[in-house]
Amino acid sequence: MNQLKITSYRFYLSLTALLLVSILRLSGQSASEVDSLIAVAEAIEDPRAKADSYIGIANIFRKADADRARHFTNKAGELAKQIGYEEGVVDAIYMDAAISLISGQAELAAKGYRETIAEARRIGYKKGEANGLNGLGGASDFMGDYVGALEYFLLALEINKELNDLDAMASQYNNIGLVYYSQNLYPEAIEYIEQSLAILRQLDDNHRAIPGITSNLGELYLQIGQYELAENTLNNALTLHINNNDRFGEAGDCRNLGEINRLKGDRSEALKHYQKALNIYQEIGAEKFQAEVLIGIGQLYVESKEWRKARTYFVEALTIARALRHMVSIRDASRLLSLVEEELGNLSAALAAQKEFKQAADSILNTEQTRKLTRQEAEYAFQKERDSVEFERQKAELAYQQSLQKQQWIGFAIATVAFFLGVIALISYRSSQSRKRKNLQLRHKNEIISIKNDELVSKNSEISALRETEKQLAEETLELKERELTTVTMLSHEKNNILQQLSDQIGGLTNKVDDEVLPELTEIKQTIKANLNEESWSMFMYQFEKVHPSFFNGLKKNYPSLTQNDLRICAYIKVGMENKEIASVSNITPAGVKKSINRMKKKMGFTAEVDLREVIMGL
């Protein structure tokens, strides 16, 4: 199945970067176009745009030339690190993992995707996190962990919905459909893939992803036996892939068209399509898909009873599948090889292939997680596989019974040894599968816990930052109120002093003016007296206690010997007034303030070295 992964990359809107984006929208380029594309990327001056351009070029080479793809991925990563472009570093890690997956290195790819997710979460890069989850879903699907694959794809889908990234949402719907396809749940798979196509056509009828997902839909029609609809859909996809010079997509369509013609009985046309697909996969190094095509060609020769040719293709397919640990291909190739070896009279080889088939089938189907996902349909399919295994085993035993008539004692010895080896292998295998199943469940739970812990740490950090901000704001507000209180107190005192001076000056003029003026001067003095604020201290206390409500009660409780004047000086100190300011509002000299402070130290039980100001500010 063409597991299409749609990825959006961020390019800065310089003129050259815009040109690069337009080129990258194509799914395939000729050698000259790619060379031009590289030249454009190298000419970009903005280092961030250049790093993004390298990632885009790597994506072009990802399916066809893994070495060149990694070359540009490494360039992007190194440049991003040099300029501190963290999102670019994350994209480079993701692309390196994607290259590993397309090359069949699923475990290495999964490791890279996990690193992508962790780094993206660390810097708050949501798109990078979604890409990593999407990739991890693909790697899990490749390794047969369908529950994990589905969960990762759904997590990626939620993030892309939040980002309103329709391109990526289409990719997730497609990938979820592919998970159901892997479990033979075809109606569900068709529903999700049709939803993916609907989004893409809403975006653009010529969207670059439409050919690949059209191929997926055609293959699903093939699986449910609608051959005519499947062939029309796949021919349409093939035309689109050829027009876009997408070799990988073209090979997939040819492979599926070969399968349709095989099922229809047109072996010549089937072989032509299969061979074309195989040539392309060999050209671009897609080994997993080579194995699938080799199995298809082998089936053609089985149907024409050309057993030796069939065996050649099945053996080659198994060699590739074992190296990749691709259990589905191992299962299919070993099952067919067992039949061929039996027809050729190679009974020992037939039993060995049958054993490998059973191990692969159990690995794919006999786990608790897979049973949960596949529900009753998967249980039925698994039972059919077990019945098939038993049937094939019985056929092999019957063949051995026939050979016993010729070589009874040799056959008996071989059958006995094979039986005991089979029992030992079965016990060992089931024990190993039980451990693997438990380890897989534990790993899956740990990953979910890690995801939740990361989210909790992020939330706690936000709460701590908010609390710190609130604390800082409260401190700044308190300081501002204290300074306002000090200013109001000083201004009130200065006003009283000025008014008192004016009153005294007018009193000195009383004996120097005419009697006619005297009443007016008396009236002025009365007005001044009426505006003198004799209650400045009371107003200060009222405002002060609104800011520091427990200050005076605490002082009186801890130091009962302090006088009212002492309390006044302590309050002035609390709001940050210096000795000169306190002297001014108290109508005493700064030296008098200092003496008062020293007397308070003795009353409060402090030595002369203690800074009373620090003590009061700390209350």
Is 11 within 8 Å of 20 (Cβ atoms)? Answer: yes
Give the C-alpha separation, 426 to 433, whole Å. Answer: 10
Token readout for 443 is 């790993």
Count of residues in the chain: 619
Work out the mean pLDDT of the chain and round it to a whole number.
79
Give the C-alpha separation, 471 to 468, whole Å. Answer: 5
Quick one: pLDDT band at residue 11, thresholds 50, 70, 90? very low
pLDDT digits (tens, 9 = 90+) for 274-329: 999 999 999 888 888 899 999 999 999 999 999 999 999 999 999 999 998 888 89
- The answer to whether residue 501 scores a pLDDT higher than 80 is no
Sign of the Cα torsion 15, 19, 24, 30 reads: negative
Q: Average of pLDDT values for 562-568? A: 88
Q: Which of 486, 455, 505 is nearest to 584 (CA)?
A: 486
More confident residue, 500 or 151: 151
Is 53 within 8 Å of 20 (Cβ atoms)? Answer: yes
Q: Average of pLDDT values for 382-389? A: 40
Give the pLDDT score at 234: 93
Q: Average of pLDDT values for 212-228? A: 90
Q: What is the dihedral of CA 452, 453, 455, 457, to 10 degrees?
A: 170
Q: Which whole-number Å values give the CA distances from 505 to 147, 491, 510, 532, in the listed order?
A: 96, 21, 9, 15
529-552: buried (b, 16+ CB within 10 Å) or exposed (e) per residue? eeeeeeebbeebeeebeeebeebb
Q: Which residues contact 459 (CB under 8 A, 6 or more apart)?
A: none
Give the pLDDT score at 414: 60
Give the pLDDT score at 192: 93
First to last CA, the chain: 74
Q: Which of 321, 315, 303 is nearest to 341 (CA)?
A: 315
Give the C-alpha separation, 102 to 109, whole Å. Answer: 9
- The answer to whether residue 480 scores a pLDDT higher than 80 is no
Is 444 within 8 Å of 147 (Cβ atoms)? Answer: yes
Q: Average of pLDDT values for 406-431? A: 61
Give the C-alpha separation, 282 to 302, whole Å. Answer: 23
Angle subtended at Cα 225 by Cα 221 and Cα 226, rounded to the nearest 5 degrees = 55
Residue type for position 137:
G
Give the pLDDT score at 525: 67
**Weakest-pLDDT range from 135-144, 356-365, 386-395:** 386-395
Give the C-alpha separation, 521 to 509, whole Å. Answer: 8
Give the C-alpha separation, 285 to 103, whole Å. Answer: 7
- The answer to whether residue 413 scores a pLDDT higher than 60 is no
- The answer to whether residue 438 scores a pLDDT higher than 50 is yes
- The answer to whether residue 4 scores a pLDDT higher than 80 is no
- The answer to whether residue 561 scores a pLDDT higher than 50 is yes
Quick one: pLDDT band at residue 532, thresholds 50, 70, 90? low
- The answer to whether residue 548 scores a pLDDT higher than 90 is no
Give the C-alpha separation, 289 to 4, whole Å. Answer: 14
- The domain over range 1-204 is classified in CATH as 1.10.10.10: no
Could you identify the residue written with the tokens 């698994």?
382
Q: Which of 55, 57, 18 is nearest to 36 (CA)?
A: 57
Give the pLDDT score at 22: 39
Give the pLDDT score at 478: 63
Give the C-alpha separation, 254 to 270, whole Å. Answer: 9
Token readout for 453 is 């812990």
Sign of the Cα torsion 112, 113, 118, 119 reads: positive
Query: Where does residue 265 fall: left (phi above 0), alpha (psi -120 to 50 degrees), or beta otherwise?
Result: left
Q: Average of pLDDT values for 206-222? A: 88
Quick one: pLDDT band at residue 97, thresholds 50, 70, 90? very high
Tell me the three state secondary structure of residue 23: helix
Q: What is the pTM of this model?
A: 0.45
Quick one: pLDDT band at residue 409, thresholds 50, 70, 90? low
- The answer to whether residue 27 scores a pLDDT higher than 90 is no
Give the C-alpha separation, 205 to 531, whole Å. Answer: 84
Give the pLDDT score at 531: 59
Quick one: pLDDT band at residue 163, thresholds 50, 70, 90? very high
Give the pLDDT score at 451: 75
Is 401 within 8 Å of 393 (Cβ atoms)? Answer: no
229-242: buried (b, 16+ CB within 10 Å) or exposed (e) per residue? ebbebbebbbebbe
Could you identify the residue written with the tokens 């000195």?
508
Of the segments 79-83, 264-268, 426-430, which one has the largest average pLDDT value?
Answer: 79-83
Give the pLDDT score at 554: 87
- The answer to whether residue 5 scores a pLDDT higher than 60 is no
Give the C-alpha separation, 136 to 152, whole Å. Answer: 7
Name the percent of the chain lying above pLDDT 70: 75
Could you identify the residue written with the tokens 């009873």?
305
Give the pLDDT score at 81: 95
Tell me the three state secondary structure of residue 480: helix
Give Rg (Cα) of the chain.
42
What are the sequence ranges of the domains in the chain?
Answer: 1-204, 489-617
**In a 10 Å sphere around its CB, with 0-12 CB exposed, 13-18 middle and 19+ buried, how is residue 251 labelled?**
buried
Give the C-alpha separation, 440 to 144, whole Å. Answer: 11
Q: Which whole-number Å values give the CA distances from 484 to 466, 471, 477, 520, in the listed order?
A: 27, 20, 11, 38
